Amino acid sequence: MADFTVTIDLEGMRKRLLALGTRPLTDTMLAVVRLTLQHWLRSTVEKISGPYLRVPSGSARRSIIADVAAPAGDGVVGRFGSPLRYVRAHELGFRGKVKVRAHQRFMKLPTRRGATQVTVRAHQRVMNLRARRFMRDSIAEDLPGLPARTRRALILLARNGSAPSLSEIA
């Protein structure tokens, strides 16, 4: 068995980071948040297409947003989600009434041969969707790797004196 000892001078690292100023540190945190959001986005799209919604393509998959807002106060804010109401219903679950608009449909009537077009009036329908958790599961799967990515980014920042690229952190 090989034994390795790693010693990190935390005080020296803290002094180097403070000497760099806030801009490189903010850029580093932005890079970490961007990479994390990319992981979440990729994982969520795979889950929508695969075991959760079983949809090979569509607006739900294209609607997932993962972007980084400007630094706010002492932190960095990232947004992750979808503006579509039905994606929210699938993620969180939904139980209630929904309105169905009037529409046309083709039906086979027993008195005629072939299909005929029938007008369906507007009505309400009771819906019961169970929560599928594709976004929350993507986040939960990736969270254990976040401290390691952050640590790696801070070490690179202290060593190089500039914010690391996404490929260096990954």
- Measured distance CA(50)–CA(56) in Å, rounded: 7
pLDDT bracket for residue 58 (50, 70, 90): confident
List the structure tokens of 166: 């996404």
Higher local confidence (pLDDT), 89 or 28? 89
Residue 10 has pLDDT above 70, yes or no: no
Quick one: pLDDT band at residue 3, thresholds 50, 70, 90?
Answer: very low
pTM of the model: 0.64
Helix ranges (DSSP H) in the chain: 10-20, 22-49, 59-63, 85-92, 134-142, 146-160, 166-169
- What per-residue confidence (pLDDT) applies to 75? 67
Sequence-distant (6+) residues with CB within 8 A of 120 are 100, 102, 103, 104, 105
Of the candidates 83, 86, 81, 82, the one whose C-alpha atom is nearest the C-alpha of residue 98 is: 86
Q: Are 41 and 64 in contact (CB under 8 A)?
A: yes
| Mean pLDDT of the residues in the chain | 78
Cα 159 to Cα 13: distance, rounded to the nearest angstrom: 9
Encode burial over 150-167: b for 16+ CB neighbours within 10 A, e otherwise. Answer: beebbebbbeeeebbeee
Q: Find the mean pLDDT for residues 137-145.
A: 83
Question: Which pair of tokens denotes residue 84?
Answer: 């579509």
Q: What average pLDDT score do residues 115-122 get? A: 88
pLDDT tier at 64, thresholds 50, 70, 90: confident
Least confident of 11-20, 81-90, 116-125, 160-169: 11-20
Whether residue 13 is predicted with pLDDT greater than 70 in this model: the reply is: no
Position with higher pLDDT, 111 vs 40: 40
Q: Of all residues in the chain, what percent carry a pLDDT higher than 90?
A: 14
